[in-house]
Amino acid sequence: MNELIEKNKELVRVLNHHRNAYYNLNAPSISDREYDCLFDQLKRLEEQSGMILSDSPTQTVGYIPISELKKVELATPLLSLDKTKQAQELFSFIGSRDVLLMLKLDGLTVELDYEGGKLIRACTRGDGVIGEEITHNIPAFTNVPLTIPYQKRLRISGEALICKDDFERLKLSLVDSNG
């Protein structure tokens, strides 16, 4: 059993190292495929041993917000789906709920809250439970409406993306605060 515990601890350490490089440093250190293989190995080990560490990547999502933005508790946790390659698992997860499925995009997960037809809050996913408020940034998003015709309360979550060409132009226009 000690061997399983040590292997569990090591996989959590390695995965958290790679997760930090990906989410916080924007410098992925292994491919998504390699990460997924390690993640699946950890998940099997946790099921086999019955031991799940509190900082296990199977229990947390994304990054821990570290900026100076206001932290907000998400009304509905924005968690990740387990990776699945089986249609039946997906159908079981959906159940009788209405859902919209899209191809996976790798961007910034954002939650938008509208009330009375007006955007009242936008925040990031953060760790899935606590995000960062970014309402003040939304006017810079070219395709997020500040007002909508729907007058009841509405919560939407999705991925905010920036095209590579736009990102390159943005990098060139930013002034280095160190110089």
Report the catalytic residues. Answer: 104
Helix (H, G, I), strand (E, B) or coil at 121: strand
CA distance 141 to 162: 9
In the β-sheet with 108-115, what is the strand arrangement from edge to edge? Answer: 118-124, 108-115, 154-160
| Residue that the structure tokens 């399983």 belong to | 4
Structure tokens given for 106 = 């790798």
For residues 132 and 67, is the Cβ–Cβ distance under 8 A? Answer: yes
Q: Which residues contact 40 (CB under 8 A, 6 or more apart)?
A: 83
State the CB neighbour count (10 A cutoff) for residue 123.
26
Structure tokens given for 122 = 């936008």
Tell me, letter by letter, the H, E, C secondary structure of 139-150: HHCCCCCCECCC
CA distance 57 to 34: 14
